[in-house]
Amino acid sequence: MKPTLESVLSSKEAVSHFEVMREKPKKFFMAGSAIKLYTEDKESNSVVEGYLWVLSDVTAQKLEEYMARNFLSLISHKFKTPLACINGFAQILKDEVEAGKGLPDIVGKASSTIFTQGGKLSTLIETLLDFVTVDSMEEAGLKKTEFDAAGIFEEAVKAIQSRYRAMEGLNFKVIIPEPVKLTADKAMVKNALKAMLDNAIKFNQAKEKLIIMSAQARDGHALLSVGDNGPGIPGEELTNIFNKFYQVESSFTGQVEGWGLGLALVKKCAELHHGQAQVKSQLQKGSAFTLILPQ
């Protein structure tokens, strides 16, 4: 049982949520609430009289979630190898054309198109794999190490630079007045920052795109932020922005390729570290996403 029965009973919360799992002879999952029932003693003090347990079987739901994650992971891995071959040979053809080897122009155009579109598909698959990995992880699986905020931002930018090398008017700015250290799963935080940077760039229609990365320490937490000068997000969209497979209406951001999983990954990273994912936005001025993690 997660949390343990003892922790549920000793909790000061009026309502506690938990899951129960039996290993043998059959594994099943239950979710429910433990509600404390109070009465008053002679001095009018509240005293716990008993508990009301409300349970429901969520085994089918858990099985569906497990199968969905496995399916997405399997499909992603199956695509990676053939895509690598397609992109590799497309690059060879491009190089041959550019080297003046006498190949027809159509070969150069076709290989360039294949390489570009293959790269986009590779990015989609990488995003899907990153999300599936994080979505299926529990807190116990985190590999926490101490690292520096400026360094992890630098690694995240390097990881996405190849996608936007040909983009004109893209400018990065870093604002980290003082060194900020944190202890967290470095690979997961890097993927979360990559998602935040991707989001800031892809949905930005400005000719001169400004991406601002900042970090600060506050009340024992590290605040890692990515801001932009994009179109902003309508207020009614903000409550859904971190949901899986959700994207803001194209009338604000244009048609953008993607799964709508990047910010959901950021939220999951925050939850696993007992942190928060926040967004502030103003129409026609831009947005700022912040990952808040305990130091």
- The pLDDT of residue 5: 60
Decide: 295 and 220 in contact? Cβ < 8 Å. yes
Q: What is the pLDDT of residues 37-77, one digit of tens each?
A: 888 777 777 787 887 878 788 778 777 777 776 776 677 67
- pLDDT of 254 over the 60 cut: no
- The pLDDT of residue 98: 81
Residue 59: Cβ-neighbour burial (10 angstroms; 0-12, 13-18, 19+): middle
Query: Strands 28-40 and 15-22, how do they pair?
Result: antiparallel
**Residue 237, CB half-sphere, CA atoms under 13 Å: how many?**
18
Q: Give the contacts of 87 (CB within 8 A, at least 6 positions apart).
A: 114, 115, 118, 119, 122
- The pLDDT of residue 1: 55
Three-class DSSP category at 133: helix
- The pLDDT of residue 89: 87
Decide: 236 and 260 in contact? Cβ < 8 Å. no
Global pTM value: 0.68
Under the banding of pLDDT at 50, 70 and 90, the label for residue 252 is very low
Q: What is the pLDDT of residues 159-182, one digit of tens each?
A: 998 888 878 899 999 999 999 999
